[in-house]
Structure 1
Amino acid sequence: MKLRFRLLSTALIIGLTLTVTGCGSQAAQTVVEEESYIPVEVQSATARTLVETAIFSGKAISDQEVSIVPKMPGKVTGINVKVGDKVQAGQVLFTMDTVDLQKSVDTAMIAIKSAELSYQMTKDSLDSAKENLERQRALYEAGAISKVQFEGMEDQVTSLENNLKAVQLQMEQAQLGYNQAYDAMSDMTVTAPVSGTIAALNVVVGQMASQAMAAVTITQLDALYVSLSVPENIVNTLKVGQEATVIINSAGEKEIKGVLTSLAPAANAQTGLYPVKVTIENTENLVKPGMFAKVEIPTKTKENVLAVNSEAVVLKNGEYIVFVVEEERAVAKKVRSGLDTGAEVEILEGLQTGEQVVVKGQTLVEQGSKVKVVGGSES
């Protein structure tokens, strides 16, 4: 009896163990089947506007930069500005020594006064001679004086008239000499011809300012452009007036609006490239001449075309395909692409609007792979 009981007990335990083990295997298999999928992100294929852009590097340049050279050399006696100062047209920038020129002005003034005095004396003599001539005319006509005497008086008047003209010319020359001396002295005070910002200052108090180099450079920071050079396969896609996006890291990461304002009709003889100007807004004066810039210019636009994320298109066995999700399965579709902007690509054939295209995980799936959408836009 005890032996039979042991045998039955052992058989029961083995049976229960096998049953439990069998159930565990089925549960594990079920879990494996349920977890055997590839997570993907999807995006609906939709009609979009695609813009192809070309990226160029350039340098910011002032559209209005003025180099100021003194009209006359001279010793600098005072400087009223420094680099970075904003100045208005007519504002004094620096002054030079005027001691010697002041002497020339004083001498010219004396010459003017002398000429004016000589002119007045000659004019008075002429007026007196004319009055006397008129009195002698009556005597001559009455026969009281001879013709020779009368003609001598006429000659005197003519001579005085010529003298007056000569003295008048001397007076005008003296005035011209004064004006020149005064202008030369005025040129010793150098003023700003335009409003702007002082970009360079090459004078020092006590040293000579010469005409060999610019003493001051004024630039207008609100009138800047980026100078570019574009190849021949791009130049005909551009036109004056179109907008561009400019990024100048030295002036911050903020995108700057630009407009193409100049397009050279001929290529540079040395580089074979076409010079282009893109005028930019610099309202905060953060951009300075000489800063390097990256410029994005639209070169081609297509509206209302079927497009997907460029990463969705993969190359398999020499063919371009995209994977779409249908009933939790990946379905490969051969496509023919068009315009590729780098971020998005136009699909000419092989895809329908609204299909759920795999944009993340597409390199991990194959035809018929079980997938689970874990992100993206399914609608």
Structure 2
Amino acid sequence: MKRLFLMAVVLFFVTACNQEETNKKIEERITPVKVESVKKEDFVVERKLVARATAADTSPIAPETPGELATLNVAKGDRVEKGETLAVVRPGGDADSQVELQQIAVRQAETQLENAKISKQQAAEGVENAKEQVNLAKQASKSEASQTAQASETAKQQYEQAQQIADETKKLADEGTIPDALYQQAQNRADQAYAQYQQLSGEKPQSSSAVAQAEAQVNQAEQQLEQARVAEEQAELQLEQANVQLNQAQEQAENEAITAPVTGEVSTLDADEGDMVTNQQPFATIVSLNPMTIAASVTAEQLSLFTKGQELEVDLPSLEEQVKSTVSYVSSVPDDTGLYPVEATVENGDEKIKPGMMASFLLPENVVEDTLIVPTDSVVEENGETFVYQVVEEKAVRVAVSVTESQTDFTAVSGDLPEEATVVTTGQLTLSDGDKVTIMEEDS
């Protein structure tokens, strides 16, 4: 019995010592943790809107003149530079015959122009001749007028002499010296001289009508010259038009080299060498890959988030990168789906962005102003409660918080948490309120 009592006493002391060591180990346990500081500022949520990359410029390729595709230098998927020769088209149809017809038309126009120049020269000579006839008629009229004036003066003198004789004869007849019949004869001669004088005084030179006729002929000749000038101008225009049509026919008869209008990639090719191609249906398409367009369709509520000229970040998941874009188009009219098209331009010098790639517009949106912001990893939810562990004098202090807004990396909260407090971001799931902690270095 005494032995059993001694064994019980020994067992009690051993158990007590073990329990004391266990409690001492629990009290001395220190949990290594990582921490970050609490911030107080505006909490900005980044909204994502799904979009898609599209080609900014698509250029159809077609010849100016229908014909046979004599040479084809590219294949579908090839990258081409602006100005590079893609193909050569040999004109079809009666192109050579058209050239011959236009050459004949040019020769005819040249002949008409030459005839018009001759007619103009003749009309100009006619004007000079008519003017010369006017000068001659005026000289003749002047000479005739002079002669008529001299004759009129002579007739006047003859009349005056005859009348003087008649007057003297009358005196003698009145005195009875001579018979009255002699006076009558003398007076008759005076009257005849007066009549002759009157006739010459009132007579107009016949050459004056010749001057008027010559001047009328000058006017007529000048009208003919003006008509000849107009005919020459029309002939020159006809010749110019005939030459233009000849050049066009010659160009159409020559092989046409088709060059790339833009730098890009051959996205479609619907013809082979030897095929006939037309100027109505493109046989190839070039897609320009720089710049690229990021296109999205947004709701009326989202439309206000976009402004033309605005710079936005674009996320490209397939390339695992984000690029800058500039909004180039914001529609004010919905499309058939009731959504509003929005487009932005992205530089794509290395052409990594391909048409059809999925993308997202990253739109910053100010959600909560002047709030506490903690790392999302620091927030713990347990039994319907939300809290974080604040490190105070190397101990983890549990602080209850309410989540206002949350994103992947950061969360806006409210609670009894001072600004610039340090909260646990790694190791918090094994902590209890009041546990000792040690802060690990960033690289540990």
TM-score (norm 2): 0.65
Structure 1 residue 48, shift from structure 2 partner? 5.6
Q: Deviations over 1:130-150 (max 9, x none)?
A: 325634653576479x969x9
Equivalent-residue separation in structure 1 for 2:307 and 2:425 (angstroms): 35
Partner residue, 1:287: 353
Q: Which of residues 214, 221, 227 in structure 1 aligns to 2:282?
A: 214
Q: Which of residues 98, 108, 121 in structure 2 aligns to 1:114?
A: 108
Equivalent-residue separation in structure 2 for 1:334 and 1:15 (angstroms): 49
Equivalent-residue separation in structure 1 for 2:419 and 2:126 (angstroms): 115
Partner residue, 1:264: 331
User: Equivalent residue of 1:75, what SS?
Assistant: strand
Structure 1 residue 97, shift from structure 2 partner? 1.6
Q: Deviations over 1:230-288 (max 9, x none)?
A: 33444434444233132241xx333323333433334x344343322232221212112
Structure 1 residue 59, shift from structure 2 partner? 1.5
Pick which of 277-286 and 130-139 moved more. 130-139
Contact 1:71 1:187 in 2 (8 A): no
Aligned ranges 1:179-328 → 2 under 5 Å: 179-182=247-250, 184-185=252-253, 188-240=256-308, 241-249=310-318, 252-266=319-333, 268-300=334-366, 305-316=371-382, 318-326=384-392
Structure 1 residue 209, shift from structure 2 partner? 1.5
For the pair shown, the structure with the greater C-alpha radius of gyration is 2
**Structure 2 gap segments, 5+ residues each:** 141-209
Partner amino acid for 2:401?
V
In the alignment, structure 1 residue 29 sits paired with structure 2 residue 17: no
Equivalent-residue separation in structure 2 for 1:161 and 1:262 (angstroms): 58
Q: Deviations over 1:198-229 (max 9, x none)?
A: 44333322112234533332333221121122
Aligned ranges 1:134-173 → 2 under 5 Å: 134-135=128-129, 138-139=132-133, 142=136, 154=221, 164=232, 167-173=235-241
Equivalent-residue separation in structure 1 for 2:227 and 2:33 (angstroms): 114
In the alignment, structure 1 residue 101 sits paired with structure 2 residue 95: yes
Structure with more helix by fraction:
2
Structure 1 residue 180, shift from structure 2 partner? 3.8
Partner residue, 2:435: 370
Structure 1 residue 345, shift from structure 2 partner? 1.2
Rate the CA distance shift 1:134–1:239 in 2: closer, same or farther, 3 A: closer
User: Equivalent residue of 1:105, what SS?
Assistant: helix
Equivalent-residue separation in structure 2 for 1:51 and 1:17 (angstroms): 67
TM-score (norm 1): 0.75
Aligned ranges 1:328-367 → 2 under 5 Å: 330-366=396-432
Partner residue, 1:178: 246
Partner amino acid for 2:325?
G
Partner residue, 2:183: none
User: Equivalent residue of 1:107, what SS?
Assistant: helix
Q: Deviations over 1:111-164 (max 9, x none)?
A: 2133213321442244145325634653576479x969x969949868766764
Rate the CA distance shift 1:88–1:61 in 2: closer, same or farther, 3 A: same
Structure 1 residue 302, shift from structure 2 partner? 6.6
Equivalent-residue separation in structure 1 for 2:30 and 2:293 (angstroms): 55
RMSD: 4.3
User: Equivalent residue of 2:321, what SS?
Assistant: coil
Q: Deviations over 1:52-97 (max 9, x none)?
A: 11123222122233223334332211224444333224x4332222
Contact 1:238 1:299 in 2 (8 A): no
Contact 2:41 2:373 in 1 (8 A): yes
Partner amino acid for 2:108?
S
Equivalent-residue separation in structure 2 for 1:165 and 1:33 (angstroms): 116
**Structure 1 gap segments, 5+ residues each:** 1-7
Residues paired across the two proteins, number = 363
Rate the CA distance shift 1:22–1:195 in 2: closer, same or farther, 3 A: closer
